[in-house]
Amino acid sequence: MESQSLITPQKFLHAFALTTAQVHNELTDLWFNSPLYTGIMRGVVLPRIAATLGLQSWSKDYYYLDTVFYREKDMLHFPEHLTNVKYIEVALEHENVLSGTAQEMNKLQLFNAPLKVLITYDRTDSQRTEYLKKYEAIIHSADIFGDISTTRRQLVIFGRKPSEKIEWSAYVYQNEGFTSEKLPS
């Protein structure tokens, strides 16, 4: 596996911005209907992002992850199974309820993947700051090899809908803290 083939947070954000722009109306229409909104995120948005990145996706829970992106299945060792991938390229958790996201962040740290992504939603800047601090502490304590800033990257995307348009904000974990990452327009 060559490192240049790995998906960076920036590549993921580019595909995320492109895809969410394409289905913006559907997302805003379903904003207050969590089951249907989650369905479109996991059934439409995340698979389209994977395809844009040249990857395949599995969005039916993979070892309790909401979605994984991968390059190929391990058909040599598991020819009869549908979901045994050679490795997880992107591990994703989508959580509508902000209060449950610390647990999801902890879960993501248990997986050895080049990129781990948490997509969630907040209402205020103070909530966002509070949760980013929680995530930093979780990641810092799980970073036993000191490589989450460089090899096993962590991306967090927050959505907020103060008006008719959804606003997305992204943060990448670097050097024991999150830095804001501009989403492509």
- For the segment 139-181, what is each residue's pLDDT rounded down to a tens digit? 999 998 888 988 899 999 999 998 889 999 999 999 889 999 9
Is the predicted pLDDT of residue 1 greater than 50, yes or no?
Answer: no
- For the segment 6-45, what is each residue's pLDDT rounded down to a tens digit? 899 999 999 999 999 999 999 999 999 999 999 999 999 9
Which residues constitute the domain of residue 24?
3-181
Please tell me which residue, 55 or 59, carries the higher pLDDT value: 55
Query: CA-to-CA distance for 67 and 58, rounded, in angstroms?
Result: 5
Residue 49 CB contacts under 8 Å (≥ 6 apart), including other chains: 12, 15, 16, 19, 57, 69
CA 91 → CA 29, 87, 141, 161, distances in Å? 27, 10, 19, 25
- For the segment 75-124, what is each residue's pLDDT rounded down to a tens digit? 455 556 666 766 778 999 999 999 999 999 999 999 889 999 999 999 99
Phi–psi pair at 145, nearest 5 degrees: -105, 0
Is the predicted pLDDT of residue 63 greater than 60, yes or no?
Answer: no
Burial (0-12, 13-18, 19+ Cβ within 10 Å), 90 = buried
pLDDT recorded at residue 83: 67
The domain tally of the chain equals 1
Residue 122 CB contacts under 8 Å (≥ 6 apart), including other chains: 98, 128, 131, 158, 160
Nearest partner of 85 among 17, 1, 161, 151, judged by Cα: 1
pLDDT recorded at residue 132: 98
